[in-house]
Amino acid sequence: GGIITQTPKFLIGQEGQKLTLKCQQNFNHDTMYWYRQDSGKGLRLIYYSITENDLQKGDLSEGYDASREKKSSFSLTVTSAQKNEMAVFLCASSIGTANTEVFFGKGTRLTVV
Amino acid sequence: AQSVTQPDARVTVSEGASLQLRCKYSYSATPYLFWYVQYPRQGLQLLLKYYSGDPVVQGVNSFEAEFSKSNSSFHLQKASVHWSDSAVYFCALSSGGNYKPTFGKGTSLVVHP
């Protein structure tokens, strides 16, 4: 088995601040994802990457940047944190074929004050 | 375009009762369908998946789901729930050649002891 590690677990930022979330996986998966989870809105895809150095925009990419430095890591940057924003950011990975499951990390909880 | 609808945001049942969580999908062909569970402060974990064949699939922890092409549905069922089943349940859809699984908004299950 493998694991997806997200750091930090909790992130408190100030309005306008640039914040970076990190994700590491040891499944040796090609595809990685960043999702935002808000109460009542389910999971919304921010960015995904089908291989090292690849980046694809999801449905919610505005206000975010991402970077896939190597196969095992995928980072997400909030370019300008919005006041009173609260959300959970989930990193995930998969082999990348449609019939395989997606594995998730435990999330980073963001609060902007 | 593909979509997943979970019509019930919250379901409350008593321990020992039977359970059905509803999922409807929209996709032109037969999709790959999944149910995931999210326990508090955790990432999502796979419960079961359907690709083809027998429309009733078995999953972990005595959960099962039934695929219906005519109704475009993939409902999750359990004969007798336990308080530890309290969690958020997500239905998801993948299609061939598409790296982006589509998730429903989730159903929060509350099991009263």
Q: What is the pLDDT of residue A39?
A: 80
Q: What is the pLDDT of residue A91?
A: 97
pLDDT for A2-44, tens place per residue?
999 999 999 999 999 999 999 999 999 999 999 999 987 789 9
| Among candidate residues A108, A64, A80, the one with its CA nearest the CA of residue A15 | A80
Give the count of domains, chain A: 1
Q: What is the pLDDT of residue A14?
A: 94
The domain locations on chain B are 3-112
Distance from CA of A46 to the nearest CA of B (A): 11
Phi, psi of B2 (to 5 degrees): -120, 150
Contact state of A43 with B103 under an 8 Å Cβ cutoff: yes
Residue A39 contacts B, CB cutoff 8 Å: no
Q: Which CATH superfamily is domain B3-112 in?
A: Immunoglobulins (2.60.40.10)
Residues in B closer than 8 angstroms to A45, CB to CB, are: 100
Residue A78 maps to which CATH number? 2.60.40.10
Q: What is the pLDDT of residue B111?
A: 97
For residue A50, give the nearest of B46, B99, B104 by CB distance.
B99
- Which residues, given as ranges, of chain B have pLDDT below 50? none
b/e map A91-106, b = 16+ CB within 10 Å:
bbbbebebebbbbbbb
For residue A104, give the nearest of B34, B44, B96 by CB distance.
B44
Question: Exposed, middle or buried, B53 (CB in 10 Å: 0-12/13-18/19+)?
Answer: exposed
Contact state of B44 with A106 under an 8 Å Cβ cutoff: no
